[in-house]
Amino acid sequence: MTVTDTLTPDASALRLALTQVDPARRRKDRFMRGLIYAAFVLAMIPLVSLIWSVLANGLGRFDLYFLTHSMRNVYGGMDAGGVYHALLGTLLITGLAALISVPIGILTAVYLVEYGSGALARSVTFFVDVMTGIPSIVAGLFAFSLFYLVVGPDSRSGFVGAVALSVLMIPIVIRSTEEMLRLVPNELREASLALGVPKWLTIIRVVLRTAVAGITTGVMIAIARVIGETAPLLITVGATDSINRDPFEGNMMTLPVYVYRQYAAGLVPCTPGDAACIPTINYDRAWSAALVLILVVMLLNLVARGVSRWFAPKTRA
Amino acid sequence: MAQRIDVKDLNIYYSDFLAVANVEMSVDPRSVTAFIGPSGCGKSTFLRTLNRMHEVIPGAHVQGTVAMDGIDLYGADVDPVAVRRQVGMVFQRPNPFPTMSIADNVLAGIRLNNKRISKSDAEEVVETSLRAANLWNEVKDRLNRPGSGLSGGQQQRLCIARAIAVKPQVLLMDEPCSALDPISTLAIEDLIAELKSDYTIVIVTHNMQQAARVSDRTAFFNLAATGQPGRLVEIDDTSTIFSSPREQATEDYISGRFG
Amino acid sequence: MASPTTATTPPVTPVRTPRRRSRPADRGLDRSFRYVAVGSGMLILATLASVAIFLIIEAMPALTHEDLASEIPWIPKGGDLWSVVGPLIFGTILAAIVSLVVAVPVAVGIALFISHYAPRRMANALGYVVDLLAAIPSVVFGLWGVMVLAPKVQPVWQFLVDYLGWIPLFAGDAHGNASNPPRVLMTTSIVLAVMILPIITAVSREVFLQTPRLHEEAALALGATRWELIRMAVLPFGRSGVTSAAMLGLGRALGETMAVLMILSPGLLYSFKLLVASQQQTIAANIAARFNDANDIGRSTLIATGLALFVITLLVNLAARAIIARRKDFSGAN
């Protein structure tokens, strides 16, 4: 046993015991502290580098022209082209997806919290968990197969993409809404029911009303989550260079797919001396579109946070 | 192995808030000192300054000196980790590590300093510590079972065994019986009486009868009003405090007029 | 498991919570509203069932086809469905596991930093910064990975080949070099690791923050340093939480498409070479790369691989949920 035996302690032995921790232990403590700080710094590197690269490479072409023009009749190394058609497509498709997901998501959450019991509720909860884990590409395959079987081979349209995004979005909406509804105190429900208000009206006027800020936040975050999805749109909506305002007919461009397509187009082989030809134009557009995409996502997140902060029910007087 | 503690001009803060003011007292070696007083009077806070557990809370700090045999525990060269090794602590609720066996719980402190303790040494420490905590006979057949399987009183004695396994100078107990039933409480009180011969013991208790039963000296803490700092009203031999205290507040508290 | 008398249905309990009034009581609008709510719950089940059914219907032609290789250019001569599905599953799992090996230690480090090292005020801000990583779309990660990260890591990969090349994972190509440009699995997995970092960090951080104060104080009172406190109280308590967090991260990494599609130079080999191009490919990236140009039977084959991916991620996610659920049962520690 190595415990310091101080049956007849003199002050110096005690001082030693009070001031000295085994140096090996101290070293290990410092070492682990260093590792943990390093882990954090390490994780910051990609974040900072990514944001820096997007800003440094994307700001160059990020202007009003870029936001208001499509890629129609843009070819080669032309100093032209923008993301208007992609921005429009992204907003239309994500909007449609939200239109599908939000009612289903909220109603399912209402079912789980207000009505759910027994085997059906348990299996819904379980399968919502399963849905959360569906890879986005599989959601795309599903939407494609569905419309392929129902509509036929020429089924690509914005709507198919919206269905794919809905598969990804619905479980997020359900989870966050469920969480918010469970926060509504039971006393409120009972007070309303005791006044003779029917249950459906109680749910709409009291429960959902109380939770509306939290639900809105959850929906915005869900939208922010799916608005950057690329893979399912790649296989269900395809791509186009022109503006398509009809989400039920024909290919549409979306921002994430635009980023990918511009990147995939690669360097332009310019004839030497051709000043009008920019070899890196496709990469430049990809970066600028990535900047637009990140700005859209950040805006959604900020608004979501704002909603939860400003419109939260005033629980404290 | 028991040391005296001398506290001088101790002010205890949570950030800017002065929680306990101007404590001055001495704790004799190989004795039991009890802290009593109403809730919020700072007796637990003060107890936690004796092994520098107080400063674990963000913003918490102290002014003044707490000297162990003349060495200030808050001196510049003193290491809080080393202090806690010399001043053991038992908490209000029993807190054995749930993932460790009974034996590993007892050895937890020793393993920190000595990773490769031999099997026979380990067994010896486990047995002597558990015997000292009056727990050996109850658990000797299930040393490798998890400590969380014991009853509350047994868990608390396991925590005492864990604290004394590292042979500290001083043992602090923060209301060690408040979560226990009367029989377990009695077992702990008996144990305190036995441990007194080897350790300096400081115990915080809500229960005045307990203070009267187990302690040699008793300190009464009080606070003038909420928001005011707690103060040490008086410290004296337990018999004196309970029979003829100097201060009116002490007498009022002891006779049950408040608190 | 037990005799039929102890069936899972509990005996009818006469007392019900006030919220759940007995069934026949509602009429008119009340009943309609309930039907709508129950209906959307059932819609979830129907959706999931149809995901599985439609994928199976569409995959059927490929599953029953005699000679896929003759109709699909990217299936090697004489090969059957398994000759591509096998390597794809292998590549998918390899990429995901490598990214997990990179991400988990860093994520646990960040989680500990936020829960036990950083000052409280700073910790909240840091948690938000990590969440920011989660909000960045995968296609942007892909773009960054291939345009910014890849050129930077090539010398590092070359270094690994030069000095650790005897380890099969770090073996070089025929000339003993790491591929340049490094469109290799290692680069891909690093980007995947960055992408799954936030989810693992977030779950681990929550678990670490829940460590009972009692156990932390017990460790401190024994004279534990901060790291020893973490070893004694925090990590044992959080182990199952970290495990399930890692499984959730694994689920994400398995299904991630764009970063792989943009960075990895594909191949269909059972190869462990992380630093050589054209060795492996993942299911998701393979689908995204080939789907639009595929003929009917090619599409069917891709959907069959998608079905395999669906099943794999399903199993991983279920395992993660099971661990979380078991943890809940045993949270009597607090």
Task: List C125's β-bridge partners, or say none.
Answer: none
C289-326 pLDDT, tens per residue? 999 988 889 999 999 999 999 999 999 988 888 887 77
What confidence tier does C331 reach under pLDDT thresholds 50, 70, 90?
very low
Mutate to test the interface with B, among C116, C222, C229 (most CBs of B within 10 A): C222
CATH superfamily of the domain spanning B5-254: P-loop containing nucleotide triphosphate hydrolases (3.40.50.300)
Q: What is the pLDDT of residues C253-290, one digit of tens each?
A: 999 999 999 999 999 999 999 999 999 999 999 999 99
* CATH level 3 topology of A87-253+281-310: MetI-like fold (1.10.3720)
pLDDT in tens, C216-238: 999 999 999 999 999 999 999 99
Go through the domains of chain C in sequence order and give each one's CATH number.
61-333 (1.10.3720.10)
Cβ pair A230:C141 closer than 8 A: no
Pairing verdict, β B17-27 and B230-237 = parallel
Q: Please check the confidence at residue C329 and state whether its pLDDT lies above 80.
A: no
pLDDT at A314: 57
With contacts defined as CB-CB under 8 Å, which chain C residues touch B97?
Answer: 215, 218-219, 232-233, 236
Q: What type of residue sits at position C30?
A: D
pLDDT tens for each residue of C134-180: 889 999 999 999 999 999 999 999 999 999 999 999 998 888 888 98
Residue A266 CB partners (closer than 8 Å, separation 6+): A282, A283
**Residue A156: predicted pLDDT:** 85
- For CA atoms B147, B150, B152, B154, give the dihedral sign: negative
Higher pLDDT, C79 or A239: A239
Domain spans, chain B: 5-254
Q: What is the pLDDT of residue C2?
A: 39
Cβ–Cβ gap B78/A19 under 8 Å: yes
C218, C233 Cβ separation under 8 angstroms: yes
Whole-Å CA distances, A239 to A228, A232, B245:
15, 12, 90
Q: Residue B166: which of C119, C215, C222 has the nearest Cβ? A: C222
Q: Is C309 in a helix, a strand, or coil?
A: helix
Exposure pattern of C255-285 as b/e (b: 16+ CB <10 Å)? Answer: bbbbbbbbbbbbbbeebbbbbbbbbbbbbbb
Instruction: Look up the ipTM and state it.
Output: 0.89
A200 shares contact with chain C (CB less than 8 Å): yes
Pick C97 or B258 by higher pLDDT. Answer: C97
pLDDT tens-place values along chain B, 259 residues long = 578 899 999 999 999 999 999 999 999 999 999 999 998 889 999 999 999 999 988 889 999 999 998 899 998 889 999 999 999 999 999 999 988 999 999 999 988 877 678 889 999 999 999 998 989 999 999 999 988 889 999 999 999 999 999 889 999 999 999 888 898 899 999 999 999 999 999 999 988 999 999 999 999 999 888 888 999 999 999 999 999 999 999 999 988 877 6
Closest partner CB to C37 (pick from A38, A42, A110): A110
Cβ contact, residue pair C106, A129, below 8 Å: no
Peptide bond between residue C181 and the one before it cis (omega within 30 degrees of 0): yes
pLDDT reading at C330 higher than 70: no
Following DSSP, what letter does each residue of B95-137 receive, concatenated?
---TTSBHHHHHHHHHHHH-TT--HHHHHHHHHHHHHHTT-HH
Q: Is A195 exposed, middle or buried (0-12, 13-18, 19+ CB in 10 A)?
A: exposed
Subunits in contact with chain B (3 or more CB pairs closer than 8 Å): A, C
So what's the pLDDT on residue C104? 96
> Residue B53 and residue B55: Cα distance in Å, rounded?
5
Does B53 contact chain C (CB < 8 Å)? yes
Q: Rounded mean pLDDT of chain C?
A: 87
β pairing state of B200-204 and B217-223: unpaired
Residues of chain A under the 50 pLDDT cut: 1-9, 316-317
The residue in chain B having the minimum alpha-carbon distance to the alpha carbon of residue A17 is B82
pLDDT for the residue C182: 93
Checking if the pLDDT of C72 tops 90, the result is no
> What pTM does this model have?
0.88
